[in-house]
A and B are shown apart, each in its own frame.
Chain A
Amino acid sequence: AQKITQTQPGMFVQEKEAVTLDCTYDTSDQSYGLFWYKQPSSGEMIFLIYQGSYDEQNATEGRYSLNFQKARKSANLVISASQLGDSAMYFCAMRGTLSGGYNKLIFGAGTRLAVHP
């Protein structure tokens, strides 16, 4: 069965410091995708970053990078130079398998990040 595990229910970080949010996954598929989403208190889901299972380099998007360790089945999100606006819930998700297409997302339980001034 495909599964995403986020073991940190809550994290806090000082402004301007880096923080790593953990994500491990379980799948028997050879081809899969890993996503991170941010959910601020307003509730919307904001796509942050994507890593394909065959991508050789770790994905980066501005201050976000994904530390992809395929053998360990981990896809940790690193936020550099944290800002107060980074305070939010963060979800790790994996593209699951559906017949005829591969767009089902399987989500972890989320990590709530608080950035302190």
Chain B
Amino acid sequence: EAQVTQNPRYLITVTGKKLTVTCSQNMNHEYMSWYRQDPGLGLRQIYYSMNVEVTDKGDVPEGYKVSRKEKRNFPLILESPSPNQTSLYFCASSFKGQGFYEQYFGPGTRLTVT
């Protein structure tokens, strides 16, 4: 089954404690990205990757890191989480190109930073 998986689904942590949210897709997609969802703001892109070892900042990259060492995986790293990073996070993947390529979303990770 074609899917994007994220782990953990729920996480409560404390300020400053490094964490990683994993994302994996089984569709051989070149393109992967991370979004955060906040009330009244919709989803905003944090980082994206066009292929292995190719990553770039999205609209709200501050406080986040990513890496793309393998095509299927795109982890999101919060080196020193702060309460303003409390949010719902989505990983997404798709084929790359100008045409209609559906973005497949993971189930979301609800993060609370106290």
Q: Which A residues form the contact surface with B (CB < 8 A)?
A: 4, 6, 9, 31, 33, 43-45, 47, 50, 52, 91, 93, 98, 100-105, 107-110
Contact with A along B74-101 (1 / 0, CB 8 A): 0000000000000010101010111011
A45 to B33, CA, bound (A): 14
Q: Is the CB of B108 within 8 A of A43?
A: yes
Interface presence of B107 (CB below 8 A)? yes
Q: In this assembly, does B41 line the interface, its C-beta being within 8 Å of a C-beta of chain A?
A: yes
A32 to chain B: closest residue by CB: B98
- Report B40 CB to chain A, min CB distance, Å: 5
Provide 24 A-B residue pairs closer than 8 Å at the C-beta atoms, listed in order of the A residue.
Answer: A9-B40, A43-B107, A43-B108, A43-B110, A44-B108, A45-B90, A45-B92, A45-B105, A47-B102, A47-B103, A50-B100, A52-B100, A91-B42, A98-B50, A98-B56, A100-B96, A101-B31, A101-B96, A101-B98, A102-B98, A103-B33, A103-B96, A105-B35, A107-B42
Q: How far is the CB of A3 from chain B (nearest CB, A)?
A: 11
B61 contacts the other chain (CB 8 A):
no
Contact B108 A104, beta carbon cutoff 8 Å: no
Known: A43-B110, A101-B31, A101-B50. A107 touches B100 (CB 8 A): no
**Which residues in B have their C-beta under 8 angstroms from that of A110?**
42
Instruction: Please judge, given known A-B contacts A33-B100, A44-B105, whether A104 and B42 are in contact too, CB under 8 Å.
Output: no
- Compute how far the CA of A44 lies from the CA of B104 in the bound complex, rounded to whole angstroms: 10
Q: Which of B2-60 contact A (CB under 8 A)?
A: 30-31, 33, 35, 40-45, 48, 50, 56, 58
Complex Cα gap A47–B75 (Å): 23
Interface of B is mostly: strand
Q: Closest CB-CB distance, B30 to chain A, in whole Å?
A: 8
Residue ID in chain A nearest B42 by CB atoms: A107
Is A103's CB under 8 angstroms from B103's CB? yes
Q: How far is the CA of A45 from the CA of B105 in the complex (A)?
A: 6
